[in-house]
Structure 1
Amino acid sequence: MSPSILLPYIYGLDLSKNEFGNDQQFPISLQEMCNLRWLELNRTNVNRLPEFIGTLKSLEKLSLSHNNLRDVPFCLNNLTSLRSLSLRDNHVSHTQISARLFNNPDLSILDLSHNNLQAFPKDIENAKGLIVLNLSSNQIEQIPSHVFVSLFELVHLNLSDNKIDTLPAQMRRLTSLQVLILNNNPLIHAQLR
């Protein structure tokens, strides 16, 4: 049986530690996997994703950790079923993330740790379904006061290893928050009441 006959039926695929480098080296057969729910592309040395990744409409979990991405690919905005996105340990800056990504109501887990973020990503407060947010090991200096106004579902927040010196009073609105990690920040004025 030809492998291409099986491709539409694959539910999960891990291609981690394969050397893809750029979008020209990706297996084109990925676009035939219309039922794909999770895709792991960790440590693939990828610096750009092919546009066809955005056609994987059933994708719920995408992990692109430990790569060379400098921005969050625009094609990810088309993944309307996406629940979990890991871009851990790349070279992403806060200005290179499309605000449309946060309009997905199903996005519940977002890991942008170990990147080059100097601020919270623009419009992250629109990701109202977020349960887990990891922004640790970046260069974030300030938490905008409006960020936590609508993230009512947030349970786990990791802001460790940044440059945050104060916490906004609006953090009190995070009534579902169970885990708050703030270690290794120069906190001067932290009111955790």
Structure 2
Amino acid sequence: MTLTPAPDDTLAQLKAGKLQGATQLKLSHQLTQFPQQIFELADTLEILDLSGNALTDLPSDLHRLKKLRILFCSNNQFTHLPEVLGQCENLSMIGFKANQITHIPEGAIPTRTLRWFIVTDNALGAVPHALGECSKLQKLMLAGNQLRSLPASMANCHALELLRISANQFETLPDFLFDLPKLTWLAYAGNPFCNAIEQALISQHHMQHIDWHTLTLQQILGEGASGVTYQALMQQNNAQELVAVKLFKSGLTSDGLPRCEMHANVLAGEHPNLVGVKGVIHNHPQGVSGLVMPLLDADLKVLARPPSYESCSRDVYADDCRLTPQQVQFILKGITQAAEHLHANGLMHGDLYAHNILRSDEKVVLSDLGGASFLPLDNPELTQNILKLEARALDILAEELAAVVSSSSDSSMQG
């Protein structure tokens, strides 16, 4: 029996030459230099994760890793995207979240192969025109930068399906976005052009503040990129109630600002097919932002898993996931009604995916408003263009669910 090395042993194993043949490697050791021993894996290494170190650059011959498909260098100290990335002939996914990147050289983009590009939470004032040459680009994560515009060349990104530009400096949405044939999931909250819209909408609602000291956290219910959700006991008016509490990890999530997510939940209000919200946390000792929500029934199960590295923009359904036509119709009806309720309240969900849907035989719930954006209701034409994206997301969901209808029911589904 071969024991998998503990994480702390990985660097030692690498230096001892004991990782020959590895296809994946993760190193997080406060590295300041790229370990040259990684090149000994050049014939096999496909996924390299160097997140959580203190790196500022990568070697100029990184392209020697001929099979490298996926590279993560998040939470390091890069101030630029290394130009060598553009020479990596198989690199399809690049993640440099939470660095201090101010500049991306035109040559740093592997235009022939790039599918998924993450530079969330940096200091970018511009992105390169070369992105417009990325014919395979499907997901682009730019939230939490200083962008005021996108290059006009990106009108050629005909494969782009998911775009995150929240928490930037946009004064308007780029016109070409609505001509992109596959754009489906868009998040843009926390920009100057929609901050006034957000404030106007939220000013019409009472936001319930719930004192932190009335909450007793219990077990973790789930964890995502933006925060951790706990079961908790809430004490109010001499009564106790079990609730769900989401605590945000930082001032910026993968999709945008915690403030925007909290406001979106308040605006969404109550609906049978939404999670709902009881209030926002007040008086947390460390100033952490958080939401208090109703505790959902334990029998509600997530419809699918989030996209994999391979599927990129499509959720992954369990191999044994089978639904009847009636179940599919029940899910689609509930999610459509939830989306229409959000739209009527000035919101686009922006992340309408099966992995954000919880279901049982009696109930279906659309969750996670982290990617929600505020609709410019005073501009009906723009609002309609934005909502066409959400309609496309619903169409994709319907296609996916049709694909998991049990074969014995296919004929009735078609009828």
Tell me the TM-score normalised to structure 2 length.
0.39
Unaligned runs of 5+ in 2: 1-16, 21-36, 197-349, 353-370, 385-415
Instruction: Give the equivalent residue in structure 1 for 2:187.
Output: 158
In structure 1, which of residues 178, 181, 187 is the aligned counterpart of residue 372 of structure 2?
Answer: 181
Alignment-mate amino acid for residue 127 of structure 2 = I
Corresponding residue number in structure 1 for 2:161 = 131
1:145 to 169, 175, 192: 175
Alpha carbons 1:8, 1:32 under 8 Å: kept: no
Contact 2:131/2:153 (CA < 8 Å) preserved in 1? no
2:317 aligns with none
Shift of 1:27: 4.6
| Structure 1 residue 35 corresponds to structure 2 residue 67 | yes
Q: What SS does the corresponding residue of 1:70 show, helix, strand or coil?
A: coil
Q: Identify the residue that residue 114 of structure 2 maps to in structure 1.
A: 82
Between Structure 1 and Structure 2, which shows a larger proportion of helix residues? 2
Contact 1:137 1:161 in 2 (8 A): yes
Secondary structure, aligned partner of 1:78: coil
Give, in whole Å, the separation in 1 of the partners of 2:351 and 2:118.
21
Give the partner amino acid of 1:19: A
Which residue number corresponds to residue 99 of structure 2? 67
- Asked whether the 8 Å contact 1:67–1:90 carries over to 2, the reply is yes
Once the two structures are TM-superposed, the CA of residue 123 in structure 1 deviates from its matched residue by: 2.6
Larger Rg: 2
Residue 128 of structure 1 aligns to a residue whose secondary structure is coil
Corresponding residue for residue 47 of structure 1: 79
**Count of matched residue positions in the alignment of Structure 1 and Structure 2:** 176
The 1-side partners of 2:192 and 2:100 are apart by 23
Instruction: Find the counterpart in structure 1 of residue 124 from structure 2.
Output: 92
Greater relative contact order structure (CA < 8 Å, 6+ sep): 1
Q: For 1:56-102, what per-residue CA distance to the aligned partner results, in whole angstroms no more than 9, with x for missing partners?
A: 11011000110111122322333411100001011111xx3221212
Distance between the aligned counterparts of 1:83 and 1:46, measured in 2? 22
2: CA distance, partners of 1:86 / 1:39: 10
How far 1:42 sits from its partner (Å)?
0.2
Of stretches 31-40 and 46-55 in structure 1, the one that deviates more from structure 2 is 46-55
Shift of residue 188, structure 1, vs aligned partner: 5.9
Structure-2 separation of matches of 1:75 and 1:54? 6
What is the percentage of aligned positions where both structures have the same residue?
Answer: 25
Equivalent in the alignment of 2:90: 58
* Structure 2 match to 1:12: 47
Deviation digits for residues 105-143 of structure 1 (CA, Å, limit 9, x no counterpart): 100000110000122343322211101000001111112
Matches within 5 A, 1:167-178: none
Q: SS in structure 2 opposite 1:123?
A: helix
| Residues 14, 39 of structure 1: 8 Å contact kept | yes
- SS at 2:78 equivalent: coil
Write out per-residue CA displacement over residues 161-183 of structure 1, whole angstroms, 9 at most, x where no aligned residue. Answer: 112259xxxxxxxxxx8758323
Query: What do you get for the CA RMSD once the two structures are aligned?
Result: 2.6
Letter in 2 for 1:117: L
Distance in structure 1 (CA, Å) of the matches to 2:116 and 2:145? 17
Q: Which runs of 5+ in 1 are unaligned?
A: 167-176
8 Å contact kept, 2:84–2:108 = no
Which residue matches 1:169? Answer: none
Is contact 1:125-1:148 (8 Å) kept? no
CA contact (8 A) 2:91 2:110 kept: no
Distance 1:146 1:6 in 2: 42
Runs of 4+ that moved beyond 6 A: none
Q: After TM superposition, give the deviation of residue 20 of structure 1 in Å.
A: 1.3
Q: Shift of the alpha carbon at 1:152? A: 1.3
> How far apart, CA to CA, are the structure 2 residues paired with 1:182 and 1:20?
34
Whole-angstrom CA distance in 1 between matches of 2:72 and 2:377? 39
